[in-house]
Amino acid sequence: MKIEIKQLSLNCCSEEYEMLQNIKNNENGFSNPVYEESYEEYLLWLQKEDDYSKGNNLPDGWIPETTYFLYINDKPVGIGRIRHSSSKYLESIGVGNLGYAISKLYRGKGYGNILLKELLKKCISFGYDDIKLFPYKNKIPTIKVMLKNGGQIIDYFDDEKYVITIQLNMLGE
């Protein structure tokens, strides 16, 4: 199996767009604003996300973030997003340091685990020692993936979510 994680760029094409049409917006808490949008809207979104990764044109109070696509055997199967730094405000509203989603066409194949592992490696390159995640309690597969990758449930958030931390310096041990 060929595994690649590619940073979003302006060269992304229709394959990524089609994959994103199989991830509903805010499904499992992951924001996908191009779900059911036109290809032209997708191209505008690419520009915006590319800008955000460079810290350009950010809305007030936003943190730069980088978006990645997971490719398995040269096909995009998932998407992930990492904020470049932590935010006490975002944590106070139940938003973590990263988020990810797998296309409904590719779920149940272990790709969420692969994508989270790859995103955790990227988090280290952003300087994170640990990350905080806020999965919905009823999303058992997601929680299992987080725990499998070193996550520990440390708290609850608003009775709907767990607070999970992953110590990145413990990865690979």
- Give the pLDDT confidence score for residue 173 in this predicted structure: 47
Report the half-sphere exposure of 108 (CA within 13 A, side-chain side): 2
CA-based nearest residue to 41, from 25, 65, 64: 25
**Strand order in 65-72's β-sheet?**
3-7, 65-72, 75-83, 98-102
Residue 112 parent element (H or E): helix 111-125
- Give the pLDDT confidence score for residue 172 in this predicted structure: 56
Pick the CATH number of 3-170 from 3.40.50.300, 3.40.250.10, 3.40.630.30, 3.20.20.70: 3.40.630.30
What are the Cα distances from residue 11, in Å, to 7, 14, 46, 50, 79?
10, 10, 9, 10, 16
pLDDT tens across the length of the chain (173 residues): 999 999 999 988 899 999 999 999 988 789 999 999 999 999 999 999 999 999 999 988 889 999 999 999 999 999 999 999 988 888 999 999 999 999 999 999 999 999 999 999 999 999 999 999 999 999 999 999 999 999 999 999 999 999 999 999 876 54
Write b or e for each residue in 42-80: b if 16 or more Cβ atoms lie within 10 A of its Cβ, otherwise e.
Answer: beebbeebbebbeeeeeeeeeebbbbbbbbbeeebbbbb
SS3 of 118, please?
A: helix
Q: What percent of the chain has pLDDT over 70?
A: 98
Integer Cα distance of 155 and 38 in angstroms: 40
DSSP, res 64: -
Q: Give 102's contacts (C-beta < 8 A, 6+ positions apart).
A: 23, 70, 77, 78, 111, 112, 115
pLDDT in tens, 83-117: 999 888 889 999 999 999 999 999 999 999 999 99
- Give the pLDDT confidence score for residue 12 in this predicted structure: 82
Domain boundary assignment for the chain? 3-170
pLDDT in tens, 132-145: 999 999 999 999 99
Q: What global pTM score does this model have?
A: 0.93
Please say whether the beta carbons of 18 and 90 come within 8 A.
no
